[in-house]
Every structure is written in structure tokens, then in C-alpha cells.
Amino acid sequence: MTTMTSNPAETAKKVPVTVAYGDGIGPEIMDATLRIIEAAGAQLDLERIEIGEAVYNKGLQSGIEPSAWDSLRRTKVFLKAPITTPQGGGFKSLNVTVRKTLGMYANVRPCASLYPFVATKHPNMDLVIVRENEEDVYGGIEYRQTNQVAEALKLTSRPGSKRIIRYAFEYARANKRKKVTCFTKDNIMKITDGLFHRTFEEIALEYPELEHEHWIVDIGAAKMADTPEVFDVIVMPNLYGDVLSDVAAQITGSVGLAGSANIGDHCSMFEAIHGSAPRRAGQNMANPSGLLHGAILMLVHIGQGKAAESTHNAWLKTIEDGVHTYDIYKEGVSKQKVGTREFADAVIARIGQRPQQLKPVEYLDEIKMSLMMRPAGKPPMKVRVGIDIFIDRRDGNPDQIAEMMQRFGVEGTKLTVISNRGTKVWPNGNPDTYWSDHWQCRFEGDGEGIFTQEHAIALLQAAARAGFDVIKTEGLYTFNGERGFSLAQGQ
Ligand code: NAD
């Protein structure tokens, strides 16, 4: 364990932090980062753990020593340098393992341009992407159900949506941001993305001082790439956030300068967004700015906003003074090309200074994230109204399938629609629609009584007796009378 200051009076305020120096350029940029934040007054008790190549090479497929989890659970804060992921099969992504194991539900990535010191088409860009980190298609639940068709499950929960959206609003409030924007595709995914969007509108009401807006992700993304300066904080489901946070970092001018935070209720992880750049390792060349930004996010998170502010402003002044590492050095703009150590020295020499041309940052010392989940209201009334039976049928014809199914004779039920990859093909299908071997056959109550689980089982037995290859079923429910399933396109 390394202590960052030796003054006993300050020791009480020190916050335990787990650090990993990583692989490639990791040790150099971690050393530079820690020197800078210490000089800026960070009060940390560091616990070092091993991750990455050396651990993978010991045969541990997760890339992390079992004992390292104890440190992470104890300190709850992880500053991580990049690691080298071994090529070839079998090895698990350390980031995904840590994120999922420790429930880090929010990924936060500030993306600000440094014009005119780093070339960009967007001189006034200063936005923060808040990406949901655990749900959506990232459960990785996939099936190949027929010869022709595979599926991935997209799961969106109300508590998961509430938590990330509340985090985005709290982040905006704490960082004096003015607007929170939500991106979804709820014109198509009305139930999953619709839930995320609806939750956004509900939570926004609790933050009347913040402007809020929603964009469909396609036009929102196009707008973000064209006029990023109109956005402030953008919150989005996992997949869109994964793609667009890289786009946002790239269009600031240099993806190598960005840091990111993975926030959980119990444990949080901070890092650069770039990798271990093995070809630059050990040459005192790498730019430590990405990891330094990760460390700034960490300091804000642990309530050391003043140290974060001194670090960030000294860094901005260094960039503004033209002291640049090779990756951003540009003849005519830069004044001095420096190595990793010298860059850190230059930032340290400017602690206490503020940038003149770039906008200085201001961080509060204490952020109160009131992220506690509010008790949920009364659960809605859930009523079973039918079943979708999915079948694999190669030489299918919707009219034939419908005819065979209408012969099932399960009293109280009726076949209402057949669709193929989401498009209605019966009744009154369009002859131009392509039929794959994957059919969704919907049975609902006949309107006379309630559709029960026994009806569903009887239908499955009838399907088996008729020789259908049933590949899966989905229950159809209403919640307080609201339909909890999508209609087929064309229905
Ligand atoms: P990379 O980000 O390491 O490098 C891409 C390019 O950017 C290279 O040209 C590199 O020299 C340059 N670069 C990156 N960081 C720099 C810095 N701080 N200063 C100056 N130049 C920098 O991506 P890669 O080459 O695709 O991956 C290398 C290794 O890193 C792989 O093993 C990959 O799996 C791993 N990786 C790890 C993480 C992580 O730990 N979070 C993230 C991405 C990649």
C-alpha cells in the first residue's frame, strides 16, 4: 500500500483506491498520472493489484488475480491503466468481467474539444455521454433457432433505466450542465426503448432546472456528429452508447485524450479509453492525458473536486502553452515536443494556474448523488392474453400453416396472426414478403373467457401432435390493460 502524503493530519481524509499499472504504456502513464494528481492535492491511499498479460500468462482466463477482488471490494474505487488482451480464443475481456461482476451500470465519457490546440472540425464541442452499461443486447443472450435465423435478446428493465437516467440528471446537476438529451429508437422498439424513453420523461420532471429533450438515435447521432456543440449530457441505452461514445471522442480531434468512468452503487472504475499501445511501451513517448482524465473523473467521484479542478486546469494550461506529446504535436501550433515524464512535469509546474484561451473547469468538492432507488409504486395488474408459438418450417406457406393450426381445436383460443421476422404474413399477407424458416404464430383468447396457462400448454401439445417443430414460445400479457407485446408489421 502506498500513501500519497505523509502528513498524519491528512491521513484521516485519505481515500483508499485500488490501482493497476497494466501493460504496454500502462506503467509509464500511471506513474505520470499519479505524480500529477498527488501534486494537485489528491488524498489517496493506494493499493496495487496485478491485472493483464502477466495474469493471463499464469493461465487465469479472466486476467485478474482472485485476491484482487478483495482489494476492489474493500476500496470500491479502481484506477486502471490499459492492459494487453492476449490474441486467440478463451480469454475473457477484463473490462467486461470487472464491470459486470461489480455492477457498474453507468459508463460516463466526457468529450470536449481543445481547439485551436488540437485540430477538430468542432471547436465548441463539450458533451458527456452517459451510457447504460449492463442491459440491452449486452446480456449476450443469443440463439440460433432455425437453419436461417438467429436471435439476440434485448432486455431493458425499469429499475435499470431509472438508475442510469437518474445518474445522468444527477451528473448534469452536479457538474452545472444545462441539458440532458436522451437517444432511443422507440419508433421501432416501442416496448424496450419505449420504456427507456418513458422513464426519461418521468425522471426529467424531478429536475425542473435542467432542460431535457429526446431524439430518435439515428437523427440524434447525425446531429451529434454534425453540430455536437448543441448537446450537453446525452444518456442512452448500451448499444447506441457503445457506438456513439467512440464517435464523440473521435470528433473532438483525438481519441487518445479521453477518459471514462464506470460507475456502480458499490464500486467504480476509472481509465483511459485507449489501449496499451505496446509499440510505444518503455520509450517515454505516450501521452498520459487519457488516464489523467480517468483520474480526474475519479477525484470528482470520491469528493475531491478541488484536486480534480487543479489537475484539469493545469492540464488545460499545459495544452494551451503548446507543450505536447508526439501524438498531438503539430508544427506551427505546438511549442515543445515532450515525453511522458516531461509532460507530467509541465502539468505539475502549472498547478494553480488556469487556462487563458480554453475554458477553465470548475468542480464541486462534494457531489451528493441521490441515486437511492425510490420505492416502486404498486405493481401493475398483469393478465395473460395469449401465446406466441415460434416454429421452424422450411417449406412453409402461411396459409397452409394457418389451416393446420386452426384445426388444433383448443377451445377458448384462436389463431390471430402469423408473422415471419416481424412482418405479418397471415391473414392477408403480401405476396412480395420473403418467408424465412422462422414463423411466429400468435394465439389469443377467443373473447369468451380468460386465456389461461392451460390453454397455452394445450396449444403446445396440439402443435407437437400436428408435427410442428416448436423452437420457442413467448407469453402475451397486458399490464393494467396496456399491451405488453408488439404487433407484427402490417398487422
Ligand atoms: P491502442 O489504443 O493501444 O493504440 C491505438 C493507436 O493509438 C496506436 O497507434 C497507439 O500507438 C496510439 N496510442 C494509444 N494510446 C496512446 C497514448 N496514450 N499516447 C500516444 N499514442 C497512443 O489500441 P490497439 O493497438 O488496438 O490495442 C493494443 C492493446 O490494447 C490490445 O491488446 C488491446 O486489446 C488493448 N486494449 C486495452 C484496453 C483497455 O485496457 N481498456 C482498451 C483498448 C485496447
Residue 83, ligand 1, Cβ within 6 A: yes
Residue 271, ligand 1, Cβ within 6 A: yes
Closest ligand 1 atom to the C-alpha of 278?
28
Residue 262, ligand 1, Cβ within 6 A: no
Query: Which of 405, 396, 289, 409 is CA-nearest to residue 338?
Result: 289
Which pLDDT score, from 0 to 100, does residue 10 have? 44
| Distance between CA atoms of residues 30 and 17, nearest Å | 13
State the distance from the centre of ligand 1 to the C-alpha of 64, rounded, in angstroms: 19
Q: For the chain, 491 residues long, give each residue's pLDDT as a single digit of tens.
A: 455 544 444 444 799 999 999 999 999 999 999 999 999 999 999 999 999 999 998 888 888 988 899 999 999 999 999 999 887 766 777 888 888 888 899 999 999 999 999 989 999 999 999 999 989 998 888 999 999 999 999 999 999 999 999 999 999 998 889 999 999 999 999 999 999 999 999 999 999 999 999 999 999 999 999 999 999 999 999 999 999 999 999 999 888 899 999 999 889 999 999 999 999 999 999 999 999 999 999 999 998 999 999 999 999 999 999 999 999 999 999 999 999 999 999 999 999 999 999 999 988 765 555 454 555 678 899 999 999 999 999 987 999 999 999 999 899 999 999 999 999 999 999 888 889 999 999 999 998 889 999 999 999 999 999 999 999 999 999 999 999 999 988 88
| Distance between CA atoms of residues 114 and 257, nearest Å | 10
Collapsed DSSP state (helix, strand, coil) of residue 486: coil
What Cα–Cα distance (Å) separates residue 295 from each residue in 135, 290, 303? 26, 9, 12
Pocket-testing residue among 118, 276, 315, 329, ligand 1, by greatest number of atoms within 8 A of Cβ: 276
Q: 121-252 falls under which CATH superfamily?
A: Isopropylmalate Dehydrogenase (3.40.718.10)
State the distance from the centre of ligand 1 to the C-alpha of 24, rounded, in angstroms: 9
Collapsed DSSP state (helix, strand, coil) of residue 25: coil
Domain 121-252 and domain 382-483, same fold? Reply is no
Domain ranges of the chain: 1-105+258-366, 121-252, 382-483
CATH of 382-483, one of 3.40.50.620, 3.30.70.1570, 3.90.79.10, 3.40.1410.10: 3.30.70.1570
Which pLDDT score, from 0 to 100, does residue 174 have? 84
| Distance between CA atoms of residues 453 and 442, nearest Å | 15
Residue 275, ligand 1, Cβ within 6 A: yes
| Distance between CA atoms of residues 144 and 429, nearest Å | 26
Q: By the 8 A CB rule, do 271 and 252 touch? A: no
The b/e string for 23-58 (b: 16+ C-beta within 10 A; e otherwise) is bbbbebbbbbbbbbbbbbbbbbebbebbbbbebbee
Q: What is the pLDDT of residues 92-140, one digit of tens each?
A: 778 888 888 888 999 999 999 999 999 899 999 999 999 999 899 988 8
Which pLDDT score, from 0 to 100, does residue 87 have? 78
Q: In what helix (H) or strand (E) does residue 289 lie, and over which residues does it extend?
A: helix 289-301
The grid cell for 243 is: 457506438
Q: By the 8 A CB rule, do 266 and 76 touch? A: yes
Q: In what helix (H) or strand (E) does residue 467 lie, and over which residues does it extend?
A: none
Which pLDDT score, from 0 to 100, does residue 4 have? 55
Question: Pairing between strand 469-479 and 259-264?
Answer: unpaired
pTM for the full model? Answer: 0.88
State the distance from the centre of ligand 1 to the C-alpha of 94, rounded, in angstroms: 15
Q: 1-105+258-366 falls under which CATH superfamily?
A: Isopropylmalate Dehydrogenase (3.40.718.10)
Which pLDDT score, from 0 to 100, does residue 12 have? 46
Which pLDDT score, from 0 to 100, does residue 11 have? 46
What Cα–Cα distance (Å) separates residue 110 from each residue in 89, 107, 222, 250? 33, 10, 19, 12
What Cα–Cα distance (Å) separates residue 37 from each residue in 6, 311, 381? 15, 6, 53
Residue 84, ligand 1, Cβ within 6 A: yes
Backbone angles phi, psi at 489, to 5 degrees: -65, 130
